[in-house]
Amino acid sequence: MSDQAPPRVLVFDSGIGGLSVAACIHRYLPGVDLVYLADNAGFPYGDKPETVVIDRCCTLIARALEQYPCDVIVVACNTASTVVLPHLRAMTSVPVVGVVPAIKPAAAKTRNRRIGLLATPATVRRPYLDRLIEEFAGDCRVERIGHPGLVRWAEDLVSGGVVPADELTDAIKAFHEARVDTVVLGCTHYPLLLESLKKSLPLVRFWMDSGEAIARRVAWLLEQTDQFAGAGRPVTEPVHSPVSAALFSGSAPEGIARFMSELGLSVQLVRGFWPAEPTEAGSA
Ligand code: DGL
């Protein structure tokens, strides 16, 4: 791979949640060049109509591909993935990977057949989720919480915000009452809140997210196109920043480069990306 450009993967989310997925991809595929694209001007998607989410995702991703040709697109947002995947696949020949709440692995893990599903208000309402539960966890009690506050608390971490512990415990008390032993993090923002969630629900044994499964799927797709990027190889001497560009449809969040570094995702360039010309640029 020395004199060859590394494979490039576009990771998309409404905000910073997709960074939890990008971090898994980087750990699994350290040779991959990541481009991160966040529709933070449209955040949160959890309260948006489907048509708005579809339109915003397709427009932004199409524009990003013009400037940053990619080998794989990852829609690192459960809320968007429930509606946008067929539209993206009709729009581009680049393989598209979506995120599905980890109901199936959760059903394999739970000991007491009680699962908590934590997602955005939109995701918990979508019929697609009913089908997923019916197919893979039909014999489990699945308690759903679609709370609007959690994604905001995760976003606030970038500027040094602290998760409000009492409000969080209150938001997820239905899981405590249902005595779930397994919780599915059905929104990519939530792995960023994991330490706080564990404190609020100390009896939960298994916390499931989709990051590793996505990373494995990306590796498989890259292998199909001979773009294999060293899956599982330890990062010894990174020759480049894992993220060549972080693109934001609104203003880039204050402190984003530092926050990304803490996740192991140092970034070369942070810039605005919507609607036509960059609204903000700067080296990170
Ligand atoms: N990270 C997105 C998800 O996985 C966040 C949703 C939002 O913007 O409300 O669903």
Q: Tell how far the Cα of 237 is from the centroid of ligand 1, in angstroms.
A: 33
Which atom of ligand 1 is least distant from the CA of 148? 9
Q: Is position 187 annotated as part of the catalytic site?
A: yes
**Is the pLDDT at 284 greater than 80, yes or no?**
no
Domain 103-208 belongs to what topology?
Answer: Rossmann fold (3.40.50)
Q: Is the pTM above the cut of 0.85?
A: yes
For residue 151 and ligand 1, the question of a CB distance below 6 A is answered with yes
Look up tokens 């499964």; give the residue.
Answer: 213
Which atom of ligand 1 is least distant from the CA of 45? 8
Task: Label residue 275 by pLDDT band (50, 70, 90).
Answer: low
Quick one: which of 210, 164, 165, 203 has its CA closest to 184?
210
Give tens-digit pLDDT for 5-56: 789 999 999 999 999 999 999 999 999 999 999 999 999 998 899 999 999 9
For residue 211 and ligand 1, the question of a CB distance below 6 A is answered with no
Give tens-digit pLDDT for 125-149: 989 899 999 999 999 999 999 999 9
179 vs 177: CA distance, rounded Å: 5
Active-site residue identified among 24, 70, 140, 187:
187
Decide if domain 8-99+211-272 falls under CATH 3.40.50.1860: yes
Q: Is position 24 annotated as part of the catalytic site?
A: no
CATH 3.40.50.1860 in the chain, residues? 8-99+211-272, 103-208
Give tens-digit pLDDT for 45-98: 988 999 999 999 999 999 999 999 999 999 999 999 989 999 999 999 999 999
Contacts of residue 10, Cβ cutoff 8 Å, sequence gap at least 6 = 35, 37, 61, 64, 65, 68, 70, 72, 73, 74
